[in-house]
Amino acid sequence: MSKKRSGKAEFVKWFGPILDALRAMGGSAKPREITQWIGKEHNIPDKILNERYEKSGVLKFQNQIAWARQYLVWEELLEASKHGVWALSNKGRGTKLNENQAYEIFQKWVKIFQELRDDKTSSDKPTKKAKEEIEIQPEVEPENAETNINLSLIEVLQNLSPTGFEHLCGRLLREYDFENIEITQRSHDGGIDGYATLKLNPFVNLSVFFQCKRYKGTVPTEKVQAFIGVMETNKRSVEKGLLITTGSFAKAAIEIEKTNIKLELIDGEKLVEMFEKVELGVIPKTIYEPNMTFFEQYREKKK
């Protein structure tokens, strides 16, 4: 069920920032890059970035960004990519939106969908029912096919045993051509859950160790710092340290990663993408949804 909220739907305020983010990144980017850019440019606290819906477990901020993106696609400001890359359309490249303009776009599409449901001619002003729709922000992202896989997979991963999750991460690394996977004994791992090597070419191997954390929230930055400490003092010399979690990382941790070439942070969102790319433990499905922008040209216009 949807939740009603007072005032305007929260995701509307991100219409403009999404366009700004894509312009700043050359016109196209991954959803993760967009949310990170907006979080940084708008100084959004980690508490907000990592807040989840209590019932579904969906990250609220990413959910809002996904809803905003869907309206921008309907408005033909973004291209409807099928490959997980968001891109500006020609119309979107030259469009900047303030919150009032974004709200007008939102109203427009709420009315369109209301008319489709009610099969009535629209009035100049939103009806009471349309106003009610405007105050509703569902907890489900628009891209249902992707969301269903992400949620179910994250839930499964978060409910594995610690040892099971470690062995599964080792299996995932094998799917990405890592070799010599070694899962350490938990009582003697010293903060390291496993070791692996990646053959970069016939002459060079990359050695890594990894740590696996099943989190539903944010991994404390101190845990990341502690992992770096283990990486620097471990008796086995390695080129990379992979910190893998089903949760998320704070902005401070991400900044640490940027300045440490040996550290790789893999959060729940990226972890799901990695499983999906090699189709490990997931079954791909094709779901067709109507392209509302396409059909809008054939609807009878009010004279």
What is the domain-level CATH number for residue 168? Answer: 3.40.1350.10
Q: Is 117 inside a domain boundary?
A: yes
Residue 32 CB partners (closer than 8 Å, separation 6+): 269, 270
Answer whether 58's CB lies under 8 Å from 140's CB: yes
Pair 86, 175 in one domain = no
Give yes or no: residues 205 and 238 share one domain. yes
Q: What pLDDT score was predicted for residue 112?
A: 81
Q: What is the pLDDT of residues 138-177, one digit of tens each?
A: 544 443 334 443 446 888 888 888 899 999 999 999 999 9
Residue 72 resides in a domain: yes
Residue 9 backbone phi and psi in degrees, to 5 = -60, 135
Looking at residue 77, what is its pLDDT? 94
Residues 6+ apart with CB under 8 A from 206: 197, 198, 199, 200, 239, 240
**Which residue has tokens 């949804």?**
289
> Same domain, yes or no, for 198 and 226?
yes
pLDDT value, residue 282: 84
Provide Rg for the chain, Cα atoms: 22
CB atoms within 10 A of CB 183: 18
pLDDT tens profile 32-71: 899 999 999 999 998 888 888 777 677 888 888 988 998 9
Domain that holds residue 95: 3-142
Model pLDDT, residue 4: 40
pTM above 0.85, yes or no: no
How far is C-alpha 168 from the geometric centre of its chain's CA atoms? 22
Judged by DSSP in three states, 185 sits in coil
| Structural domain count of the chain | 2
